[in-house]
Amino acid sequence: MAKGYWIARVDVRDTERYKDYVATAKPAFERYGAVFLARGGETKAVEGQARARNVVIEFPSFQAAYDCYHSPEYQAAVKIRQEVADGEIVLVEGVE
């Protein structure tokens, strides 16, 4: 079974409240087996519009990635994130 991934690109407007998002999202990530492969760190835009924060999260399957995003735990975090940051999240199925 192929793994699933979240690719998130974010510009944080309120760094203090973003910490609330991270804390609220943590139980969902733990429940669905999330492994952070990239979180913040140095970036260099080579094509297109860049965001300040880029995150890649691996899940055991695409379904787990999907279920995590739609879980009640994560949806509570989404409300916080959307108040304090702008960005996109894309779910991607890995190769087998």
Model pLDDT, residue 96: 84
Model pLDDT, residue 64: 98
Model pLDDT, residue 63: 98
What is the rounded CA–CA span in Å between residue 61 and residue 76?
A: 22
Q: What is the pLDDT along the chain (96 residues), one digit of tens a residue?
A: 899 999 999 999 999 999 999 999 999 999 999 999 999 888 999 999 999 999 999 999 999 999 999 999 999 999 999 999 999 999 999 998
Identity (one letter) of the amino acid at 8?
A
Q: Which of 13, 78, 86, 14 is nearest to 50 (CA)?
A: 86
The pTM for the full model equals 0.93
